[in-house]
């Protein structure tokens, strides 16, 4: 795979699912230094590690070298600047789903005086343990533990436990849009919150 912008031969990412998730997480967090050390730890040589880090776009669709944000498919060349981008597919637990979940949350309905006026200002698509997003881990644990911003100003750090019901587990396995598994029933049935422990539970269908 050749990058037309820097004229370098770009190495393929031949890693098992769990390692690929960790690599994608570090790129997504914008932690290039950690990304390079992770790659070295996985046995990639220095030159390739730097090339990988430089061509792994942090956000799917967005070129790592210019403003173009409509990249399609993996291992693709940016039509705008010619740069190679790995453009790794995000899987079912992605920013789009997290945004959708954020907008679906409502704490006023829960009947808890303490959380009246609470709102959510972001659910992270990058859980602290990226390996927990592997297909096998999801089927086994049936949950995703990530971070969310919640509170009166929507800015307190909460641990969010997203439990996957039968439909969500099936959708996850088949790479389908998890947003279809956000319940439209009464919020009390699928959202709970503990403001003291800074924890929120969400139960998908």
Report the residue number, 29 or 68, with the smaller CB distance to Zn ion.
Answer: 68
Report the residue number, 6 or 137, with the smaller CB distance to Zn ion.
Answer: 6
Contact 24, 88 (CB under 8 A): yes
Interface stretch with Zn ion, choices 60-68, 101-109, 129-137, 147-155 (CB under 5 A): 60-68
Report the residue number, 78 or 133, with the smaller CB distance to Zn ion.
Answer: 78
Q: Does 1 bind Zn ion (CB under 5 A)?
A: no
Q: Does 78 bind Zn ion (CB under 5 A)?
A: yes
Q: Does 44 bind Zn ion (CB under 5 A)?
A: no
Contact 188, 147 (CB under 8 A): no
Q: Does 31 bind Zn ion (CB under 5 A)?
A: no
Q: How far is the CB of 61 from Zn ion (least distance, A)?
A: 11
Q: Does 53 bind Zn ion (CB under 5 A)?
A: no
Tell me the β-bridge partners of 201: 161, 192
Report the residue number, 5 or 198, with the smaller CB distance to Zn ion.
Answer: 5
Cβ count within 10 A of residue 196:
7
Q: Does 48 bind Zn ion (CB under 5 A)?
A: no
Q: Does 57 bind Zn ion (CB under 5 A)?
A: no
Q: End-to-end CA distance of the chain, in Å? A: 41
Contact 81, 5 (CB under 8 A): yes
Q: For residue 193, which phi and psi values (nearest 5 degrees)?
A: -145, 140
Q: How far is the CB of 60 from Zn ion (least distance, A)?
A: 14
Size of the site for Zn ion (CB under 5 A): 11
Q: Does 68 bind Zn ion (CB under 5 A)?
A: yes
Q: Does 136 bind Zn ion (CB under 5 A)?
A: no
Q: Does 100 bind Zn ion (CB under 5 A)?
A: no
Q: Does 81 bind Zn ion (CB under 5 A)?
A: yes
Q: Which residues bind Zn ion (CB under 5 A)?
A: 3, 5-6, 63, 65-66, 68, 78, 80-81, 83
């Amino acid at each position: 795979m050749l990058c037309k912008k820097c004229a370098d031969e770009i190495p393929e990412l031949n890693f098992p699912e769990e390692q690929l998730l960790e690599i994608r997480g570090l790129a997504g967090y914008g932690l290039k230094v950690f990304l390079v050390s992770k790659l070295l730890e996985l046995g990639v040589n220095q030159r390739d590690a730097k090339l990988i880090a430089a061509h792994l776009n942090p956000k799917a669709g967005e070129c790592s070298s210019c403003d173009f944000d409509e990249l399609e498919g993996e291992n693709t060349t940016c039509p705008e600047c010619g740069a190679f981008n790995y453009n790794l597919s995000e899987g079912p637990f992605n920013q789009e789903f997290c945004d959708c979940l954020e907008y679906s949350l409502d704490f006023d309905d829960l009947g808890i005086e303490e959380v009246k006026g609470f709102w959510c200002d972001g659910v992270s698509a990058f859980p602290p343990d990226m390996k927990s997003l592997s297909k096998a881990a999801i089927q086994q644990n049936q949950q995703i533990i990530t971070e969310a911003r919640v509170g009166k100003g929507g800015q307190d750090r909460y641990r969010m436990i997203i439990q996957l019901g039968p439909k969500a587990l099936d959708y996850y396995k088949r790479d389908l849009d998890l947003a279809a598994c956000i319940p439209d029933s009464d919020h009390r049935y699928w959202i709970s919150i503990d403001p003291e422990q800074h924890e929120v539970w969400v139960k998908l269908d």
